[in-house]
Structure 1
């Protein structure tokens, strides 16, 4: 695993240069100073969204941050005793509810991004495990289970933010991933809209596009329990109408309003 450690000091300045890949990272949450001071907007419903600014500042200034590269796994096995706050990036979370049997058709796949708290089950059961793979370069705050439980006991507002974010995430998951009675078109469009709102970054230049960096068509298919050919078919339709383009592990939402209308139409 290749990673870089940073301290959470306000004087850090710019944290990460990710290169020229069609995303304007200067508009994303890569200036820790702005993130600490609340000048960066985090996605609605996330843990950091519900966390009061003073508590966010305390967490980011007290604990170290860590960068994981694309395809790295967050250490969340039964032996690892850490939880993570995602500062930026996109991860794929896989759970295996049938006694740990890692079969694709029995796997529950979800995407998590900026502001989300992951690994929370370890706060209750240290034996809990999940597979969380970084789909893009990902900046996180790792906290030991002991440290986080201490924070939760001492800071009711942090506990409340965590509870609110978990409830919001459950509702969002139901709205996005549980549309099994809906057509593949609606399911793919709803997931792309969700990703645009939760992990999307502004495109470069005068473009109003939103770039979803990390998930592949295979990841989309796994999350929705659809065939890859079905996902490809739906993406071709969106491309035909000028709504979404795709590249290697990237989706470019060219018309967010149109995608929203397509995803919400009955």
Structure 2
């Protein structure tokens, strides 16, 4: 099946035949097509997709969508554009192995907000004044670590560094963006944060 996400977000974990223990984690939000690469492959890649919260999708049988695409150039072009968008996101967010862990986590958090963020969470600043802040709901720290191929300790150190200077607040499967501009500066490397491990 091929799924068009109408609302919400999902986590997809793709496994590989050459190594059953190897997998790739990616996040998708509204407008994304889950399984779009399978349309162009002879053998679809096995994957497990989990909704991160309330999610609506429109499902199409793979054979049916292939048949329609072969006869409709406009549909084939749209599917190719959807696949290209996913590949660009892979390069922009997930393939940053030469960047610092802080840059990689910050880039993914921004990507998660762009595909599934909400502007509906009120949060107090350091003076006790309440503000409406962007928020991402659903992914866990384990999801982020798996997607970026980082250790849980590395992710937690980055999140702690972001919390320490009031860029981010976190709750269970929630990431509240207190200062989006500075988070973007962390992602580009213009702002360095302290990611040293917590002292015991």
Range class of TM-score, shorter chain: 0.7 to 0.9
Report if aligned partners of 2:141, 2:152 keep a CA contact under 8 Å in 1. Answer: yes
Shift of 1:204: 4.2
What is the alpha-carbon distance in structure 1 between the residues aligned to residue 121 and residue 11 of structure 2?
25
SS at match of 2:170: strand
Report if aligned partners of 2:5, 2:58 keep a CA contact under 8 Å in 1. Answer: yes
Give the alignment's TM-score, normalised by structure 1.
0.63
Shift of 1:100: 5.5
SS at match of 2:75: helix
Of the candidates 90, 95, 115, which is equivalent to residue 31 of structure 2? 115
Quickly say closer, same or farther: Cα 1:125–1:207, change in 2 above 3 A.
farther
Q: Does 1:162 align with 2:86?
A: no
What is the alpha-carbon distance in structure 2 between the residues aligned to residue 173 and residue 243 of structure 1?
25
What is the RMSD computed on CA atoms of the aligned residues? 1.9
Shift of 1:212: 0.9
- Name the residue aligned to 1:142: 59
What is the alpha-carbon distance in structure 1 between the residues aligned to residue 119 and residue 67 of structure 2?
37
SS at match of 1:96: strand
Deviations 1:54-105 (A, max 9, x none): xxxxxxxxxxxxxxxxxxxxxxxxxxxx11001121211111224350x2xx
Runs of 4+ in 1 over 6 A off after TM superposition: none
- Name the residue aligned to 2:18: 99
Between Structure 1 and Structure 2, how many residues are aligned? 182
SS at match of 1:84: strand
Report if aligned partners of 1:220, 1:231 keep a CA contact under 8 Å in 2. Answer: yes
- Name the residue aligned to 2:68: 151
Gaps of 5+ in 1: 1-81
- Name the residue aligned to 2:7: 88
Give the alignment's TM-score, normalised by structure 2.
0.83
SS at match of 1:179: coil
Report if aligned partners of 2:121, 2:134 keep a CA contact under 8 Å in 1. Answer: no
Q: Does 1:216 align with 2:132?
A: no
SS at match of 1:215: coil
What is the alpha-carbon distance in structure 2 between the residues aligned to residue 142 and residue 199 of structure 1?
20
Shift of 1:186: 0.8
Of the candidates 181, 189, 206, which is equivalent to residue 98 of structure 2? 181
- Name the residue aligned to 2:194: none
What is the alpha-carbon distance in structure 2 between the residues aligned to residue 237 and residue 146 of structure 1?
48
Gaps of 5+ in 2: 123-129, 191-200
Q: Does 1:238 align with 2:162?
A: yes
Deviations 1:134-175 (A, max 9, x none): 121211001111331233234322221221121122122112
What is the alpha-carbon distance in structure 2 between the residues aligned to residue 116 and residue 214 of structure 1?
17
Report if aligned partners of 2:10, 2:50 keep a CA contact under 8 Å in 1. Answer: yes
Q: Does 1:194 align with 2:111?
A: yes
Report if aligned partners of 1:94, 1:130 keep a CA contact under 8 Å in 2. Answer: yes
